[in-house]
Amino acid sequence: MKVDSKIIKTGNKLPLVEEFFSLQGEGYHTGKAAYFIRIGGCDVGCSWCDSRYSWDQNLHPMVETKTIIENVLKSGTDSVVVTGGEPLMWTGYVFRLKKTVRQLMIFARLLMSLK
C-alpha cells in the first residue's frame, strides 16, 4: 500500500504499525504502565533498532489520529509512548496527537532516534 501524499498533507492519518498497553521496559520510566503507539516509517535506520519491521511506512495502514486517540482513551491509561520507526518523520501529526492526549490529562512521551 503506497502512502497517498494527500493523506500526508492533511495530517489526519498516521501509518500505524501497532498499539498496545504494556509496561515501559527501559529508561527512567521502567516498570510503569503505558499505552504504546508505534508509527511506521524511518529515514534513519539505526543499527541497534529492535523494530526494523516498522521502517517501511507503506507496509502499515493509515489510521485516523482520531481513532488512535479513542483507543488511548478506551485503554484507561495515564501515560502514552509514541515510538516507531522514526515518529519525527510525521512531526506535525505526532505533535498534534501528543498535544491532544496531553489535553486529556494523559502524560505523553515521544521516543525517537538520537542519530
* Coil/strand/helix, residue 86: coil
Which tens digit of pLDDT belongs to each residue from 30-71?
999 999 999 999 988 889 888 999 999 999 999 988 898 889
Alpha-carbon gap, residue 112 to 38, rounded angstroms: 11
Q: What is the pTM of this model?
A: 0.81
Which tens digit of pLDDT belongs to each residue from 64-104?
888 988 898 899 888 888 888 888 888 777 777 777 777 77
The CATH number of 5-110, from 1.10.10.10, 3.30.230.70, 3.20.20.70, 3.40.50.2000, is 3.20.20.70
22's enclosing H/E stretch is: strand 13-23
Q: DSSP letter at 13?
A: E
Between the alpha carbon of residue 80 and those of residues 46, 60, 115, the distances in Å are 23, 20, 23
